[in-house]
Amino acid sequence: MYYNHRLYFISTTEKNWAASRDYCLERDADLVVINSREEQEFVSRLAGYQWTWIGLSDGDTEGTWKWVDGTIMTSSFWRSGQPDDYGGEDCVATSLGDNWDDDPCANQYRWICEKVMVLDHLEAELNKEVMREEAPQIYHPPSSMTVSVGDTAIFSCRAWGRPQPTIQWLLDGRLLETDGTDNRPESVVRMDGGGDLLLRGVRSGVETVLCMATNSAGTANHTARLLVYEVRPDRWRYYDHSLYFISTAEKNWTASRDYCLERDADLVVINSREEQEFVTRQLGYQWFWIGLSAGDTEGTWKWVDGTNMTSSFWVSGEPNDYDGGQDCVATWWDGWDDDPCAAQYRWICEKV
């Protein structure tokens, strides 16, 4: 790849630092020497979210960092707390978002070679051949989130391409105005620098947020969900025509259901992926009882409202009825698991 009078090669395989450098040297190049913040940003985008060797080490004198061209490091882009020489770390790798880290030279990473161009006419020819357009790639997509009514939801999106892509946002399929306004009376929308979207005063329900990156070479997009619930004074949360109660105590499955029934509710029945996402985002890293069990017939999963399970969100390898008698279902952020009904967990009530 051609960039700023240099050619760069990003590997797809992994080697130790010395073998990576040998690969570059055999091609009249060397491991990359980073001379500016702009070059660091370019290199980190090539690396992506994988550690990648660069041409920096202190193998000759501990603590004296030198580039492979023999120059002493002056500008640096260390991640926080680095370098720390934890267990003989004499070589340097980089990745997108983390900058530099000193690591053992024997580690197996990808690498980046750099070849400096010196002939003007050759550079001109390479410029014609290599400086071609590149379709956008979204390297930092927006993440789905759950917030309560009236909060501010913040989404970020970053893309790489040539020329630099323009970021646009769509909300439920409707393109948002680039001047940072929106006509919906229940919320105000503002965008900062194109890549950040702020939704203020969000309303209850589910909305689809889409980041679209566009340049002359093409378009890329990534979709996220915004799930919004309402917290009532009695601690019940409103979402999509149902009220939900998240317990702070722990009971077995039957006692948990009794608690809900005494309040004209029942353990939650999950009817869609959106509802599963809403439920799991309330929980954190704890198990919660839901209204699904196989108490009547082993292997036939039924909800507390009498309906058979159709859609499911089991954790990998579940249900397994481990040691027999795992007839009740709990969920956490990663999905469902069958467990003994006597286990003590928190629970979720639902009132339609």
Contacts within 8 Å (CB) and 24+ apart, 172-181: 172/207, 172/208, 173/208, 173/210
Are residues 259 and 152 part of one domain?
Answer: no
SS3 call for 275: helix
Selection from 147, 241, 155, 272 nearest residue 203 by Cα: 147
Cα–Cα distance for residue pair 254/133, rounded to 1 Å = 62
Q: Helix or strand or coil: residue 334?
A: coil
Same domain, 85 and 115: yes
Looking at the structure, do residues 318 and 269 belong to the same domain, yes or no? yes
Region 101-127 average pLDDT: 77
Asked if 148 and 119 sit in the same domain, the reply is no
Number of domains in the chain: 3
343 token code pair: 């286990």
In a shared domain, residues 8 and 113: yes
Would the pLDDT of 186 be above 50?
no
Residue percentage of the chain with pLDDT more than 70: 88
Q: Which residue has the tokens 């009794």?
A: 258
Measured in whole angstroms, the distance separating CA 120 from the mean position of its chain's CA atoms is 43
* Number of DSSP helices (H) and strands (E) in the chain, helices first: 5, 26
β-pairing verdict for 110-116 and 52-57: parallel
The average confidence (pLDDT) of the chain is 84
Final residue of a domain: which of 230, 251, 270?
230
Tell me which of 185, 201, 230 is where a domain ends: 230
Length of the chain: 352
Is the pLDDT reported for residue 301 higher than 50?
yes
Give the amino acid at 277.
Answer: E
The CATH number of residue 307's host domain is: 3.10.100.10
Q: What is the pLDDT of residue 291?
A: 96
| 66 has pLDDT over 70 | yes
Question: How far is the C-alpha of 260 from the C-alpha of 240, rounded, in Å?
Answer: 19
Q: Are residues 177 and 278 in the same domain?
A: no
**pLDDT (mean) for 167-183:** 71
The answer to whether 313 touches 272, Cβ cutoff 8 Å, is no
pLDDT digit string, tens, across residues 13-34? 899 999 999 999 998 899 999 9
Q: What is the pLDDT of residues 199-218, one digit of tens each?
A: 877 777 778 899 999 988 88
Burial status of residue 329 (CB atoms within 10 A of its CB: 0-12, 13-18, 19 or more): buried
Same domain, 144 and 42: no
Mean pLDDT, to the nearest integer, of 127-146? 76
Q: Is the pLDDT of residue 88 over 90?
A: no
Nearest to 21 by CA among 29, 13, 33: 29
* Rounded Cα–Cα distance for residues 83 and 65 (Å): 10
DSSP E strand stretches across 50-127? 52-57, 66-67, 91-95, 99-103, 110-116
Pairwise pLDDT comparison (149 vs 292), residue with the higher score: 292
Confidence label for 184 from pLDDT (cuts 50, 70 and 90) = low
Give me the domain span that covers residue 324: 232-351
248/207 same-domain check: no
Helix (H, G, I), strand (E, B) or coil at 38: helix
Q: Is the per-residue pLDDT at 120 higher than 60?
A: no
pLDDT at res. 87 = 74
Amino acid (one-letter) located at 82: Q
Asked which of 105, 130, 155 is the last residue of a domain, the reply is: 130
Mean pLDDT of 58-83: 88
Nearest CA among 215, 219, 274 for reference residue 241: 274
Q: Is the CB of residue 153 less than 8 Å from the CB of residue 144?
A: no
Is the pLDDT assigned to residue 77 strictly greater than 60?
Answer: yes
Clarify whether residues 6 and 106 are in a common domain: yes
Q: In which band, very low, low, confident or very high, does the pLDDT at 106 lie, cut at 50, 70 and 90?
A: very high
Percent of the chain with pLDDT over 90: 34
Is the domain of 241 the same as that of 144?
Answer: no
Most confident of 19-28, 38-47, 77-86, 241-250: 19-28
Tell me the backbone φ, ψ of residue 224, rounded to 5 degrees: -130, 160
Q: Where do runs of H (alpha helix) occur along the chain?
A: 17-25, 37-47, 120-130, 253-261, 273-280
47 falls in which pLDDT band (50, 70, 90)? confident
pLDDT of residue 178: 53
Same domain, yes or no, for 237 and 334? Answer: yes
Q: Which residue has the tokens 């003007």?
A: 120
Same-domain status, 122 and 141? no
| More confident: 242 or 296 | 242
Q: β-pairing, 30-31 with 52-57? A: unpaired
> Are the CB atoms for 1 and 130 separated by under 8 Å?
yes
- The predicted-structure confidence for 246-259, as pLDDT tens digits, reads as follows 998 999 999 999 99
In angstroms, the CA 289 to CA 305 distance is 15
